[in-house]
Amino acid sequence: MSVLGKPAIDPSAGPASVEPATAANGSLATGSGAIPTIGLHGRERAALALTFTAAAARYWLSVYPHVLREARHWRGRAEAIPDAALRRLALSTQRQERGNLEGAAAFAVLAPRPQRARVVRAVVAFQAIYDYVDTLAEQPSADPAENGRQLHRALLSALDPDTGQPDPGQPDYYVHSLHKEDGGYLGELVDACRRAFGALPSHASITVPAQGAVQRIVAFQGLAHDGEDGHGDAWREFSDWADAQTPQGSGLLWWETAAGAASSLLVFALIAAAAQPSASEEDTSAITRAYFPWIGALHLLLDSLIDQKDDLRSGRYSLVDHYASSRELAVRLKAISAEAMRASEALPNGRQHGLILAAMASFYLSQPQASAPDGAPARAEILATLGERAAPAMCLFRLRGRRGRRRGSL
C-alpha cells in the first residue's frame, strides 16, 4: 500500500511474511492464532484484582492531585505566551491532549511515594513538550523538515546528562519557525523536566538509556517529516534507519520498529525507574527491551489507528497505512500485543507494568474510531489477547466517555 499517495519504497518494504518464532526469543509470528490469547485463572485473577485496586488507589490518591497541579501551572504559563498564535497552539494542545498527560503520569505508580511528585513533574513536562513541539512542527515553515528536527531537540535537552539546573544556553528551538515569542514557555518546560529528573536518586544510571530513547524519537520525527515533504530517497532512508533499529529475529516490519522508536512510553518507564534508590543495569536493560520495540510499537500503532482518518484528511503520515488490509493489521497487532504483554510481565513489578500496558491499549480501544470497520478487527484481537487485564480500564474509559471524552493519546 502506498503512503500519502507515494509509491511503496520497494516490494521488500511492503507487508511481508515472517517465519513463525517462539515467544521465548522475543519474536512474533504472523499467522492467525500463532500467539495464543493470554488468559487468567484462579489465583492469577485474584492477584490481578489486588494489583489493579492498589495501583488505582495510588494513582488517584498520590499521583492525580500532582497531575492537576502541573496541568494548572502549565495552562497558566501557556496563557501568558505573548505571541497569539503560539498561545493558541499551546492552549489547544494542552486541552486536546490532556489524556496524554494523565497517561504519562500513570507511570508514577511505579515510584516510591516520596518520589512520585518529582516523577509526575518530569513526565508531565516531557509529554507536554512532545505534544507542543509535535503541533508546532505541523505548522507552516520555510523548512518544515529542519523545523521539526530543531523543535524536537527540546526533548533531548529535557533529559540532558547535565541535568538538575536551568540551562541558560538552550538552543533556539524556534530558529526555523515563523512564530518565536513564547515568553520562555518551552524553555521552562525543558528546565522543569531536567530539574525533576535530576533530583531522582538513580537518574545518573538512567540517563544514557533515556537519552537513547529520546534520540530515537527525534530521529523518527525528522525522518517522517523528510518523507512527507521529500521524495523516494527520503522514504528509503526512513525504512533503512528503522531496519537498522529492528532487533534481529524479532519479525517486526520496519514501520513497526519505527512506531516503537517514536513512543514516549520507554522514557516514562525509565524516569519511574530512576525514582528507585538503586536502579540496576539489568533492570534498566530489561525495561528498555520490553518497551522498545514491543510496548512502544503497540502504543504508536494504536495511536496511528485512531488518527488514521484525520491524518488522511490533513495529508499527514500514517503508520498503519503500510498494512495491506484491516485483517493484516489485526493479525500483526494481535501478535505485537501478545509480545508486549509477555515482555511487560517479565519485568520487576511486572503486574503493574502489565496493567499500565492494558490501560494504554484500553484508552485507544475505547475510542469510537477503534470500532470503525477498519479498526474493529484489530480491536477485537487485541482485547482477546489482553483478556481480563483490560477489563477494568475499558470499563473506566467507557464511563469517562459517557461524560464527554476528548480524543487524545498516551
| pLDDT score, position 157 | 94
Q: What is the DSSP letter of 373?
A: T
- For range 80-91, the mean pLDDT: 98
Round to whole Å and give the CA distance between 301 and 259. Answer: 6
Q: Quick check: 35 pLDDT over 60?
A: no
Q: Is the sign of the CA dihedral 369, 374, 375, 380 positive or negative? A: positive
Q: Given pLDDT bands bounded at 50, 70 and 90, which one contains residue 131?
A: very high
Q: Identify the residue with better confidence: 122 or 2.
A: 122
Tell me how far the alpha carbon of residue 220 is from its chain's centroid: 12
Q: Quick check: 170 pLDDT over 80?
A: no
| pLDDT score, position 180 | 94
Q: Quick check: 38 pLDDT over 60?
A: no
Q: Quick check: 96 pLDDT over 90?
A: yes
Confirm if 97 and 134 have CB atoms less than 8 A apart.
Answer: no
Q: Could you check whether the bond before residue 377 is cis, i.e. omega within 30 degrees of 0? A: no
Cell digits for 50? 489486588
- For range 179-184, the mean pLDDT: 96
Query: If you count them, how many residues does the chain have?
Result: 410
Q: Given pLDDT bands bounded at 50, 70 and 90, which one contains residue 36?
A: very low
Cell digits for 237? 532512508
Q: Given pLDDT bands bounded at 50, 70 and 90, which one contains residue 168?
A: low
Q: Quick check: 362 pLDDT over 90?
A: yes
Burial of 243 (0-12, 13-18, 19+ CB in 10 A): middle
Q: Identify the residue with better confidence: 250 or 310.
A: 250
Cell digits for 351? 503486574
The 10s digit of each residue's pLDDT in 250-297 is 999 999 999 999 999 999 999 999 999 999 999 999 999 999 999 999
Q: Is the pTM of this model over 0.75?
A: yes
SS3 172: coil
| pLDDT score, position 302 | 98
Q: Identify the residue with better confidence: 401 or 351.
A: 351
Kindly list the distances between the CA atom of residue 3 and the CA atoms of 8, 163, 288, 341, in Å, as whole numbers in the listed order: 7, 39, 29, 29
Burial of 262 (0-12, 13-18, 19+ CB in 10 A): buried
- For range 90-94, the mean pLDDT: 97
Q: What mean pLDDT value characterizes the chain? A: 86
| pLDDT score, position 21 | 35
Q: Given pLDDT bands bounded at 50, 70 and 90, which one contains residue 334?
A: very high
Round to whole Å and give the CA distance between 255 and 235. Answer: 11
- The helix or strand, by DSSP H or E, that contains position 186, with its residue range, turns out to be helix 185-198
| pLDDT score, position 400 | 73
Round to whole Å and give the CA distance between 20 and 260. Answer: 21
Residue 284, φ and ψ in degrees, nearest 5: -60, -40
Kindly list the distances between the CA atom of residue 141 and the CA atoms of 41, 145, 146, 172, 223, in Å, as whole numbers in the listed order: 55, 9, 9, 15, 17
Q: Given pLDDT bands bounded at 50, 70 and 90, which one contains residue 361?
A: very high
From the list 115, 131, 119, the residue with the least C-alpha distance to 74 is: 131
Kindly list the distances between the CA atom of residue 167 and the CA atoms of 162, 170, 171, 188, 194, in Å, as whole numbers in the listed order: 9, 6, 10, 10, 9
Q: Quick check: 8 pLDDT over 50?
A: no
Round to whole Å and give the CA distance between 55 and 353. Answer: 10
Q: Given pLDDT bands bounded at 50, 70 and 90, which one contains residue 26?
A: low
CA dihedral 50, 57, 111, 390 (to 10 degrees): 60
